Amino acid sequence: MRRSKDVAISRLKLSNPWHLLATGFGSGLSPIMPGTAGSLAAIPFWYLMTFLPWQVYSMVIMLGICIGVYLCHQTARDMGVHDHGSIVWDEFIGMWITLMALPVNDWRWVAAGFVVFRILDIWKPWPIRWFDRNVHGGMGIMVDDIVAGVFSAGIIYLIGHHWPIGLF
């Protein structure tokens, strides 16, 4: 098992822009919890995106999804593994969707969004698990994290805007 992972990673070329993006600028190459590392690496990019009008922010996410389907498919094909752990562009998109719902841009809400997204992305409750198991290719890599991001955003939105006393 370890050898096949090493072979797959050896096929990555970070000089290839698709591989660089698919690995979250290399964050997915973390030897421990690459998905978590990718989710953390998405936060500084999200912060920069907060300076954009929400319509542009939304367009960046939609473009990121479209490009992500291709680059995740291409990188997985180049690596010879369907959804290798080092491919974390889907975590970037899932985090960006989650963080759209913050009631205020405060580090505690960012941390809450991160935790909720990671729990749903790792646990994969229905329907996230269904998408993970039944959709293949680049869209299959992306869609479970998109759905986890939407659910996470919903949870954060409900807590942040409708919780009787608020969290923070």
Instruction: Collect all residues with Cβ–Cβ distance below 8 Å to 137 and sequence separation of at least 6.
Output: 69, 73
- Sign (positive/negative) of CA torsion 166, 57, 119, 29? negative
Please write the tens of the pLDDT for every residue from 29-42.
999 999 999 999 99
The answer to whether the CB of 50 falls within 8 A of the CB of 43 is no
Q: Output the pLDDT for position 44.
A: 98
Give the C-alpha separation, 90 to 118, whole Å: 12
Q: Output the pLDDT for position 166.
A: 56
Cis peptide before 17 (omega within 30 of 0): no
Whether the predicted pLDDT of 5 surpasses 70: no
Q: Output the pLDDT for position 109.
A: 96
Other beta carbons within 10 angstroms of residue 33's beta carbon come to: 13
pTM of the model: 0.92
The answer to whether the CB of 40 falls within 8 A of the CB of 109 is no
> 70 falls in which pLDDT band (50, 70, 90)?
very high
| Token pair 């963080």 in the structure block, residue | 99
Whether the predicted pLDDT of 151 surpasses 70: yes
Whether the predicted pLDDT of 167 surpasses 70: no
Please write the tens of the pLDDT for every residue from 122-144.
999 999 999 999 999 999 999 99
